[in-house]
Structures are given as C-alpha cells and as structure tokens.
Amino acid sequence: MSAPLLCEGRVVVVTGAGRGLGRAHALAYAAEGARVVVNDLGVGLDGTPGPGSPAGQVVDEIRSAGGDAVAHGGDVATTEGAASLVRAALETYGRLDTLVNNAGFLRDRMLVNLDEDDWDAVMRVHLKGHFLPLKHAAAYWRAEAKAGRPPVARVVNTSSGAGLLGSVGQGNYSAAKAGIVGLTLVAAAELGRYGVQVNAIAPAARTRMTERVFAATMAAPGGGGGFDAMAPENVSPLVVWLGSAGSAGVTGRVFEAEGGRITVMEGWRAGPCVDRGARWTPAEVGDAVVKLLAGAEVPGAVYGAG
C-alpha cells in the first residue's frame, strides 16, 4: 500500500514558477497530490518581457505526469495581477490552501552605480510581489475563517542569504530579501488567528539568477552517487512540507536550504546590554560599546566581501 500523498486535495499557487526554483516547487507539489496554479510572467533576468511565458510548459509537464494544474500569466507586483492570481485558484478549483511567493529577478550593481530604476524594479518584484499576493490570499482566508470555515492555510516566502547577511553588488536585492523576512514575521503574527502559517526560506540553488555563481554540478561533501547539491529540486521538499497540513505549528520561521542541508536561521535578538540608568556622554558611550562588542558574537561575513 503506497503512502498517502502529503498535499492530496490542496490547492497551491506558486509565483515565478516557469523556471528554476518555482518550476521545481510546482512539480513537487503536483507530485504530492496538489492542484497547482503556475504563475509566471515570462520575463528576462532583468525583468523585461521575454518571448513568452513558460508557465504553460510547466502545466503541460504536470498534466503529462497525471497531475492537475493551470497557468496564470499576470504580474503579481500589481494589485490586479495579484487579485487575479487568487481568483484563478478560486474559480478553477474552488479554494486556495497554500501560497508560495517565489517570483524575482536581479539587477546587480555596486551601490555607487545602482540607478534608482534598478532599485525600484527589484523592490517592486521581490517585495511588492510578495506583499500583494499575500494580501489578497490573506483576505480570502480571513473571510473563510469569519464564515466559520477556518482554513489550514500556508504561505512560504522566498528570502535569501543575501537578505540575512548582505551581498556585495546586490544592495537592492539584499534589502528586498531582508524586507521579505520582516514581512514574514509580521504576517505570521497577524494571520495566525485565521489559521494561516507563514514561513520563509533562504535557498541556495542553481537557477538563471545564480548560474554564474554556482558551477553546473557540485557534489555534496561525502554525498557521492552523483548528487547535484545545487539542483533547485533539493529545496522543494522543504517548501512542500511547509505548505502542507503536516507543518502544523511551524510559523514565523526562516529556513536556509542548500543541497541536503536544512538550517533553522536565528535572527536578530538581544545580545550584551548595559543600562546606566541615566544619560550617557558620547565618550562614555564609546567606552561602553567597545566593552559590549567584546562580549558579542561576531556577525557573519557579507557575501562577496574581501
């Protein structure tokens, strides 16, 4: 007797699902029994329009394997695009259970060369492109809860190591990905009362966005067997589990996923502290801070720093 599928009957939306991580997530959800709304605008790495959306190709892959999926080509960084994404799930399948926010692109520049348009474009797609689908999905789930139909809803957001530690040449991307962590924490706190869990991942995998960074194939240390540690499919099992009913009780967390490794990331928290109970002078502050830093943990290195 085969094991039950983890997401049997669930309806899952994945943004930016035409390629890379999003495609891997969509296929993995379908393999676990989910019905999938595959969103992809079909643009280039810099966010400009491409020759056509690959979302339909992913839908064809899912259907060829016996799954159920529908394509959505709207821009999730617009109110109408995000609203239509949620409507696509409701009108096609009658419900929405899981939202995976994954869409994004790069416009890398050193800060002194970073144009305002490059900043705005990356913020728009990564940060606004997370906020708007989350807002519209959350409105649906809140209405369901108030109508006496509490959902078992899940949101998986996509941050990055760049958002947790910073990355040289990626000030816009790092800031947007850090913002996604903050959004995740707030959403988890606000939406829990409605049956919604919200988590984030910081994946490391070979995609169009990272192919210049990662070699074509990297064997995991001691892994053997031709294991491709940078394959995007390695990240998807965690995303599928977080988006399933089986992840009950897990919310407001950030997980790093790379190869066969999963790490619970522990964010900003109070470290060494001193309180003199009165106002400091600047000189006194300097002495106090030096002593505090001597007892504090050293922060992780910014990616790409010398």
Q: Which residues are known catalytic residues?
A: 160, 173, 177
Q: Which residues of 122-161 are buried (b: 16+ CB within 10 A; e: fewer)?
A: bbebbbbbbbbbbebbbebbbebbeeeeebebbbbbbbbb
35 closest CA partner among 61, 70, 59, 11? 11
Report d(CA 142, CA 191) in Å as an integer.
8
**Four-point Cα dihedral 125, 116, 185, 15, nearest 10:** 10
Q: What is the phi-psi region of residue 212: left when phi exceeds 0, alpha when psi lies from -120 to 50, beta otherwise?
A: alpha
How is residue 209 written in tokens? 């966005």
Q: What DSSP string runs through 204-246?
A: E--STTTTTTS-S--BPTTT-TT-BTT-GGGTHHHHHHHTSGG
What's the number of CA atoms in the CB half-sphere (13 Å) around residue 7?
33
Residue 273's identity, in one-letter code, is C
How is residue 202 written in tokens? 């910081």
How do beta strands 254-258 and 196-204 pair?
A: parallel
